[in-house]
Structure 1
Amino acid sequence: PSASTPPPAEPTSVPDAGQVLALLATADRTAAADAADVPGGSLARLLASIAASRAGLEAQLAAALGVPAPDAGSPAVATPADAATPGSPTSTAGAPSPAAPQPADVPSTDRIGIVAAEDQAGYGYEVLAAKLDDPSRSAARAAAAVHRARAETWAQAWALDGTTSDPRRATYALPAGLDDPATALALAQSLEVGLTTTYASAVADSARASRPELVAALLAASADAAAWGAPTTAFPGLPERVD
């Protein structure tokens, strides 16, 4: 070849599915860590949502490959143990409750909102457990226990338990028609999607020291929403960015 002829291009290797899965896991961890560290609350909220989105993609790819998703290294919260198919979510029974940030690090409105949302989710799942057939009934019963435990953990850690500020109620308003499996499933999805919004808002409002636990709780709620068949969104917990 002449001196002006460029050398042949080096072949570009295409990552296999396992490598893509590992890259998604790294991206998930990076976004979650950045959400805990950036100075601005709005940016932290966005990064936490991105971390949840990447974790969702990671879980979908792992399920398609038939392999476990890589360990994201997040703080312990109740999350589905395995990939689930819509309408047949995995059980969250036995999963630990989150460690609660210090009360001074989380605004009062967010603390009350988190406890109320978790307790409402627990109540909603208890009602669903009476309406659904197995395996969804068992999953709803397990989810109810997890959400009730989370609400109790947060309420005690934040000194809300038994006070006039405790937002937990005996009953909550639920949609009509829960004998219809589709309506029941939609309620489960909406409970988890609502929690993603609650936790994303708390990430934005809270001090940096409290964010890791709140980000982990957002990721858990997003994963549970997907396990119940909620549509995938690019920005979990950010309703203003839903198309």
Structure 2
Amino acid sequence: MQPPSRRTFLALGLITLTTACTGTDGTDVATKAPTPDPDTPVRLRAVTATDTLLAAYDALLATPGAQTALLQPLRAETAQHRAALAQGLPAASETPTPSTTPTATPTPATLAALERQTAQSHLADLDAARPPLARLLASVAAANALHATTLGAPSDQPAPTAPPTPATPTPGPALPALQKALSAEHAAVYGYGVVGAHLPDDQQRADARTYYAAHQAQRDTWQRLLTTPTPAAGGYQLPFPVTDAPTATKLAAHLEIRLSTVYADLVADLPAPHRRTVATALRDCTLRAHHWGAPTAPFPGIPDPLPTPTEPH
């Protein structure tokens, strides 16, 4: 039997050094302290912003003549957002702190503005979050935007724009997800052609034309990020027969809901420089699905309301 080589000893030394620094339970052997979760500051900021929003809902609901039927469901969804965002924070309080209580009674208009402000705060932290939390933040921000619209704010859907050209190509692991988003946009463009053909020549058809153009622009955005983008198929199988205006609007809602799921996943798959672009696409799909009569959901694009965060390494 040959004696171990110098390379073997070096490898063994590296293994010994590595295991001496970090225990198998994720703690630092020297300090016995758990490895800090990099998402904790992001979650704390998101919970604080949501507490402020909850306090505003409570203040408005406590006023005489409050629109309870409108406000209570939105408040309930906001509480669900808080529970998901606080997951993994053992010290998170169960109720808003006194500092989050509004000094003046809000109105539906100011509450709508606060919903949008909360959405922006979540989006501002997208790049700092790990993929599962980034996906959750984008979904909650889309729900905030829908809440603002429900409260009477005008729909916030600027025309899609191309993301900044990355200094390096999009990482390989993200390419299948990006190709999937492109394929979904190809299908949406085809689907909206069918939708428009079955709508009367009124505001609905005008809206369909606008959304058709938006999906073309979003399709072009993803094509610019791909070296070899997937081409559109000659045709696509519709999920159900479209024969009149009601089935056409049902198809439009279906397309937007499907895309919202694709974009929620894409937020987690793409690198940080592109997350805001994808989160904006998720928001726009959420608002368009609502426009076409789709039922609302507290977490647009996410079937599981409480995603389990990945353990830190």
**What TM-score do the two structures reach when normalised by structure 1?**
0.74
Equivalent of 1:235 in 283, 292, 299: 299
Equivalent of 1:27 in 118, 121, 132: 118
Compute the displacement of 1:101 (Å): 6.3
Q: Which residue of 2 aligns with 1:92?
A: none
Tell me the distance in 2 between the aligned counterparts of 1:104 and 1:124.
28
Mapped pair 1:131 → 2:222: no
The amino acid that maps onto 1:139 is D
Query: Which one has the largest radius of gyration?
Result: 2
5+ long unaligned stretches in structure 1 = 1-11, 72-78, 82-94
Compute the displacement of 1:142 (Å): 2.7
Compute the displacement of 1:100 (Å): 6.2
Mapped pair 1:204 → 2:268: yes
> Per-residue CA shift, 1:82-141, capped at 9, x if unaligned?
xxxxxxxxxxxxx34442664425701111011111111010000111111122222223
Compute the displacement of 1:239 (Å): 2.1
SS of structure 1 residue aligned to 2:152: helix
Matches within 5 A, 1:1-243: 13-38=104-129, 40-63=130-153, 68=154, 79=157, 95-99=159-163, 102=166, 103-105=169-171, 107-133=174-200, 134-161=202-229, 166-241=230-305
Stretch of structure 1 that moved more, 41-50 or 129-138: 129-138
Judge conservation of contact 2:109–2:151 (CA < 8 Å) in 1. no
Tell me the distance in 2 between the aligned counterparts of 1:101 and 1:240.
33
Alignment length (residue pairs): 200
The amino acid that maps onto 1:112 is Q
Judge conservation of contact 1:101–1:213 (CA < 8 Å) in 2. no
Provide the aligned C-alpha RMSD in A: 2.3
Compute the displacement of 1:241 (Å): 3.5
> Per-residue CA shift, 1:167-204, capped at 9, x if unaligned?
42121101343113322211100101111111110111
The amino acid that maps onto 1:180 is D
Q: Which residue of 1 aligns with 2:41?
A: none
Distance 1:168 1:203, change over 3 A: same
**What TM-score do the two structures reach when normalised by structure 2?**
0.59
Distance 1:176 1:237, change over 3 A: closer
Tell me the distance in 2 between the aligned counterparts of 1:221 and 1:126.
17
Q: Which residue of 2 aligns with 1:6?
A: none
Q: Which residue of 1 aligns with 2:49?
A: none
Tell me the distance in 1 between the aligned counterparts of 2:138 and 2:116.
14
Report percent identity of matched pairs.
36
Tell me the distance in 1 between the aligned counterparts of 2:164 and 2:179.
13
Distance 1:101 1:227, change over 3 A: farther
SS of structure 2 residue aligned to 1:62: coil
Greater relative contact order, per chain length (Cα 8 Å cut-off, separation 6+): 1
Judge conservation of contact 2:170–2:225 (CA < 8 Å) in 1. no
Tell me the distance in 2 between the aligned counterparts of 1:176 and 1:26.
39
